Structure 1
Amino acid sequence: MTQITPLNNEQHANLKIMNSTDFRRYKEQHLIPLIAHDFIPMASEFSVVFVKNEETGQFTAVAMMGIKPGLNLYCQDDKWEPSVMPSSFLKSPLSLHIQDENSDDCFVGIDLDSPLVTTENGQALFNSEGEQTDYLKARTEHLLDVTQKYEQTQKITQHLASKRLLTHKKLNINLGKDEKYAIDGLYIIDEKALNALSQDDFNDLRDKGLLPLIYAHLSSMHQIGRLAKKQIQFDTK
């Protein structure tokens, strides 16, 4: 459990954040939420798929960084040097939260249990006068940008769903030695449904700039084999 606390220039005047490429904080998260801007770069190494919240019906775009729940194959140690990564990886230990249900006001929260939070080394959050440092301002801008793009991505996924382009997919992964692992609960773009769209609906996707995202997603499914190999390597250590 993380301890998220609203950032305060009095209580947290001496706090600093260390820059780190150690992503073990995600080692138990095999599906990482994405924003639309992540699709094309992430598709070069990871499968980009969709999952559905059965209670709300909302779809979320995610990168598969593991085959089995609770195991991120890339973040088990601090040696991973990513060429691409989800935008959300750069948020921790800060996060953005809605003040309350009846307001659009937000506050920046900080995970005080994060090993990235110190009082010694790192980037200061506040100066001696209690004002935000340029570092904190930049981090806050990033949080706002990712949050806005996440909301845009949610609208995109719902639009795809409204056009009946998302279809349930069950994957059977070959892990060698006659071992297969079934992954259920994933959704992908139905190519037949995409090709069967009316000209107007297809042009609508094009005009909204969604076709590159769709094609990136479809091509990313070839990365499943890469993930299977990493699982086999992990299992045979």
Structure 2
Amino acid sequence: MQNNYVLLNNIEHADLRVQEHYSVENGDGAAAVMTFPTEFENIQREYPILLRKNSATDEFQAVTILGLQKDENLFLEAGQEGNGWGGDYVPAIVARGPFIIGFQGTEDDRGETPQPMIYVDLNNRKLSRNEGTPLFLEFGGNSPYLEYISGVLRTIHQGERVGRAMYSALDELGLIEPVSINVDLKNGDKYELSGYYTISEERLNMLEGDALHALNRAGYLRGAFLMLSSLGNIEKLVARKNALL
């Protein structure tokens, strides 16, 4: 179904509700989704973070791995109580649901750029007029859920800008290297995660002087270490897969 994004407002969408449940049917069955430095702290506690190249721009972008094969999200828990997500933190790109940040108009005469606004995809299957969590309060104010979504969208919006600068800086210093991850399951099945990149721990540890200081001052050094520490979660991912066999 084609997207139909419109500017969210509390008049036309006063009765709009969202089903806060994650499932394949609701479009959450991706094996890898984009992630951002603004959420690395939370992501690295549960999920592996890798880099891949955007095929359109050839720029690096970070992804979090949720499954070992196409359209496999091992964190979806069908038939369970709760919201259907098997982790403590839901990646922002998943949590945002049918919402995105958009801009109206162009730069004005005073040089001020348009402010980010929330847009909603009216064709999204998670939306309903009858059931789910309301977006607005009875007299038009934002519901707690919409405030949460606003925070999620800020994480994405700010993270996209920080990420582009961060990955470019890491790449310029030769700290990004290709990686292939081979997985052997208990039933003998084998999987390979290929086409990804990671941070070279060896080169990172050898970094010194102005380069090291610049990375640290920009906050990129911490991001690099969070990416490296997240790789231990590959074992947890394999354990989830093995538990299904």
Q: Tell me the TM-score normalised to structure 2 length.
A: 0.79
* Partners of 2:78 and 2:2 in 1: CA distance: 20
Aligned to 1:87: 92
Q: Deviations over 1:158-207 (max 9, x none)?
A: 22112221111111111234432222111000122213334211121222
Backbone CA RMSD of aligned residues: 2.9
Q: Does 1:96 align with 2:101?
A: yes
Aligned to 2:5: 5
> Mapping of 1:47-196 within 5 angstroms?
47-75=48-76, 77=78, 79=80, 80-99=85-104, 104=114, 106-125=116-135, 133=142, 135=144, 136=146, 139-140=149-150, 142-196=152-206
Bigger mean CA offset, 78-87 vs 56-65: 78-87
* Partners of 1:138 and 1:42 in 2: CA distance: 17
Change (3 A) 1:163 1:104: farther
Change (3 A) 1:127 1:64: closer
Contact kept, 8 Å, 1:27 with 1:74, in 2: the verdict is no
> What secondary structure, in the 3-state scheme, does the structure 1 residue paired with 2:232 have?
helix
Contact kept, 8 Å, 2:48 with 2:64, in 1: the verdict is yes
Contact kept, 8 Å, 1:26 with 1:75, in 2: the verdict is no
Contact kept, 8 Å, 2:23 with 2:29, in 1: the verdict is no
* Partners of 1:122 and 1:55 in 2: CA distance: 37
* Partners of 1:76 and 1:219 in 2: CA distance: 26
* Partners of 2:45 and 2:240 in 1: CA distance: 16
Change (3 A) 1:84 1:126: closer
Paired amino acid for 2:89: V
Change (3 A) 1:108 1:169: same
Bigger mean CA offset, 144-153 vs 131-140: 131-140
State the Cα distance separating 1:127 from its structure 2 match: 6.4
Change (3 A) 1:26 1:161: farther
Q: Deviations over 1:3-60 (max 9, x none)?
A: 3330355543432334x24354354211121121322222222111111113312111
* Partners of 2:191 and 2:34 in 1: CA distance: 22
Change (3 A) 1:231 1:128: closer
Give 5+ residue unaligned stretches, structure 2.
108-112
Contact kept, 8 Å, 2:39 with 2:155, in 1: the verdict is no
Aligned to 2:110: none
Paired amino acid for 2:51: F
